[in-house]
Structure 1
Amino acid sequence: MVRVLVVDDTRFMRTVLVNILIDEGIEVVGEAEDGQQAVELYLQTKPDVVLMDIIMPRMDGMMALKTILGINPAAKVIMVTAIQSIEMAKLAFKCGAMSYIIKPFQKQGILQEIEKVLHS
């Protein structure tokens, strides 16, 4: 079973993502509301994939991405954000993100990206 960590500072968005994943039989190993929690939960749960927002308090998604990849260079992180910027997407990929999804997203888009990242 695929294990996913969901990271977003908005409870509503975490709930939407968690419901999509659970409906597809994907195990949600944790939810974090900021980058600091994301790193802590990553260490505890060792998920297969991390779905991570960029703009968050305490530690933003880019710093959390870099920190997680510092812990495990093989970590699979998908950025899920409302930032529709080519420059931000390029930066995310440069920092090690495996995918970049723009909110609002379609259920199938999330599931396809998880599948793609798992097999890359």
Structure 2
Amino acid sequence: MLPSISGQNEKYNFSDLEVLIVDDNQHMHTILRDILLGMRIKKIKHAYSSSEAMKKVEAGVPDVMLVDLLMKPVSGFDFIRSVRRHERQEISLSAILVLTSFSSAELVRRARDSGANELLCKPVSVSGLVDRLTHMRDHPRQFVKTETYIGPDRRRAVREFEGPDRRKKQD
């Protein structure tokens, strides 16, 4: 899980975080590595395919995975679903941050429905990555397991009930 901090006004210290980058693009690995090093994160693993990533996850579960969605031959969507369905709970509950160049509503929905914790659009910056990791730490979502979905609760907003209140006593 993501690290906590002691004081309210202190910045997060992500230096002990272990990150697995899952992307089929070597250039993106270099960019992300440099950003993570800039955040003082030194435990960085690299996987260039979904199958390589799963082998690395099974050998040692990282604190967070940065996953590209449009990898080939196995997409990030399929990789995320395989993580969520994994028999080892420590793997199935892993933190997954999706990185994508495309932010269409359909793609975001598919990432959410695959079981991603959060999504960050490329180009990635230090502040954007810190923001998403901080959000994941400060606002963890309960995991849900149904016949068709395993992953963080997909509902974001806590909404007040709208409509007639059937249980309210009428005067």
Structure 1-normalised TM-score?
0.91
Q: Which one of the candidate residues 112, 116, 123 is aligned to 1:93?
A: 112
Q: Given residue 114 of structure 1, which amino acid in structure 2 is its aligned partner?
A: L
Aligned to 1:105: 124
How far off is 1:113 after superposition?
0.8
Equivalent of 1:82 in 87, 90, 101: 101
Which whole-Å deviations, capped at 9, do the CAs of 1:10-61 have from their partners, x for residues lacking one?
Answer: 1111111111112212233410111111111111121010000011123110
Could you list the runs of 5+ residues in structure 2 that have no partner in the other structure? 1-15, 141-171
Q: Distance in 2 between matches of 1:53 and 1:70?
A: 19
Point out which structure has higher relative CO (alpha carbons under 8 A, 6+ apart).
1
Q: Please say if 1:18 is aligned against 2:37.
A: no
CA distance in 2, matches of 1:22, 1:30: 12
Is contact 1:49–1:118 with CA below 8 Å preserved after alignment? no
Alpha-carbon separation, structure 1, partners of 2:40 and 2:126:
14
Give the residue type in structure 1 aligned to 2:126.
Answer: K
Matches within 5 A, 1:18-57: 18-57=33-72
Larger-Rg structure:
2
Listed as ranges, the gaps of 5+ residues in structure 1 are: none
Structure-2-length-normalised TM-score: 0.65
Tell me, yes or no, if the aligned pair for 2:66 and 2:97 is still in contact at 8 Å. Answer: yes
SS class of match (1:46): coil
Question: Across the two proteins, how many residue pairs are aligned to each other?
Answer: 120
Question: Matches of 1:28 and 1:88 in 2, distance apart?
Answer: 29
Aligned-residue CA RMSD (Å): 1.4
The structure richer in helix per residue is: 1
- Contact 2:24–2:49, Cα closer than 8 Å, also in 1: yes
Amino acid at match of 2:79: A
